[in-house]
Amino acid sequence: MSITNITYLQNIIPNDIIIINNPCVNRLYFIDFLEIKKFLLTLENDKVYVITFDFILTWLLYEENSPVINLSKPILITKNSNPRLLSNFIVDRIKVSCENYFLDEDIMEMLIKPDGPGVLAKYKVINLF
């Protein structure tokens, strides 16, 4: 799952609506290879997770229920997923969001600020079989 390419949940389980009840949540600040690798190490062996990514324009406003941008349809990951592939996927989706919603592309440079933009990963174990 997402080792050599991104695996979307809809490719395995066709559905129109996906609801993740009580997901685990992880804030990603730098969206780099090392941060994703560290996140993947927290996952359990031999488990498949469904995950979504929301782009947060600023963590300060997020606490006040500000709008977020969903970066993609739910994908599947495991502890062995490729962190570089996932990092590139997220960064690419942020760039597409900036283009589609006319956001300043310099927003990517602000990712290093603690109150700047980031990504909220919501994930949960899924039983595919």
66-99: pLDDT as tens digits: 788 899 999 999 999 999 999 999 989 988 888 8
Q: 47 or 19: which carries more pLDDT confidence?
A: 47
Domain boundaries, the chain: 7-13+23-126
Mean pLDDT over the full length of the chain:
84
Nearest CA to 56 among 67, 45, 72, 43?
67
- 115 has a pLDDT exceeding 90: no
Where do the DSSP E strands lie in the chain? 7-8, 24-28, 48-56, 69-70, 75-77, 118-126
- 3 has a pLDDT exceeding 80: no
